[in-house]
């Protein structure tokens, strides 16, 4: 699955290099066997952001994109959009898409609400905003893709964990808690994080459907 994510990322235009940050020798071997660079990181890294920050010491750049290894359907255009937000001056950036039927109650499908500048107000595994009035405001789903400028990435990795971050199990809440703005691009990009066996089966069916449509 990680190799598939790397392959999708390599199709994005304007990306200088694709590398996989991991502390697992099996993942590193699979990645290198597929022709991608693997950067070994400390097993003590608490989350993906800290892992990317550590890898960035060996891979110097002005900005970094964190494409999570559990997003095998990530659209290369989504990666390009987040990269574009960084080039426009965002300190941290991510994406959102419309909520699909049946996703309301799934905790692995993270929801996000935005302010008037399309910056994140909050992320939650619960449905937000609560739909008291049907059709007034359509919930948005967070796509597991982040961009950081180099300085913000290292700053965020040094900050302590927060109670909100631990409660929701969402590392991006650390950034919001400490006042780091997160710019959010919008698009109808397919995404399906694989966190459970049911997710894996759902993604397999989606991939099979894509392959049938494209012959």
pLDDT bucket at 182, cuts 50 / 70 / 90:
very high
Residues found in the chain: 215
pTM of the model: 0.84
In percent, the amount of the chain with pLDDT more than 70 equals: 87
> Which domains occur in the chain, in start order?
61-213 (3.90.550.10)
Percent over 90 (pLDDT), the chain: 58
Provide mean pLDDT across the span 101-125: 93
- Please give the Cα distance from 154 to 128 (Å, whole number): 30
SS3 78: helix
Cα torsion 107, 109, 112, 118 to 10°: value is: 170
Residue 73 Cα distances to 3, 33, 55, 69, 204, angstroms: 12, 21, 24, 10, 10
**What distances in angstroms separate CA 130 from CA 112, 113, 152, 182, one per listed residue?**
12, 11, 32, 22
């Amino acid at each position: 699955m990680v190799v598939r994510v790397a392959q999708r990322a390599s199709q994005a235009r304007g990306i200088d290099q694709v590398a996989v940050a991991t502390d697992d020798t099996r993942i590193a071997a699979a990645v290198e066997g597929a022709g991608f660079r693997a950067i070994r990181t400390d097993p003590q890294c608490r989350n993906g952001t800290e892992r990317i920050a550590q890898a960035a010491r060996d891979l110097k750049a002005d900005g970094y994109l964190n494409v999570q290894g559990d997003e095998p359907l990530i659209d290369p255009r989504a990666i390009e959009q987040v990269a574009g937000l960084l080039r426009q001056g965002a300190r941290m950036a991510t994406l959102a898409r419309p909520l699909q039927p049946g996703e309301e109650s799934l905790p692995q499908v993270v929801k996000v609400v935005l302010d008037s500048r399309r910056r994140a107000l909050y992320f939650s595994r619960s449905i937000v905003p609560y739909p008291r009035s049907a059709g007034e405001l359509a919930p948005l789903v967070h796509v597991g893709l982040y961009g950081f400028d180099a300085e913000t990435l290292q700053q965020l990795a040094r900050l302590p964990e927060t109670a909100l971050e631990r409660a929701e199990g969402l590392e991006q809440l650390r950034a919001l808690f400490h006042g780091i703005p997160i710019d959010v691009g919008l698009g109808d990009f397919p995404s399906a994080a694989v966190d459970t066996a049911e997710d894996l089966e759902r993604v397999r069916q989606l991939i099979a459907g894509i392959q049938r449509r494209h012959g």
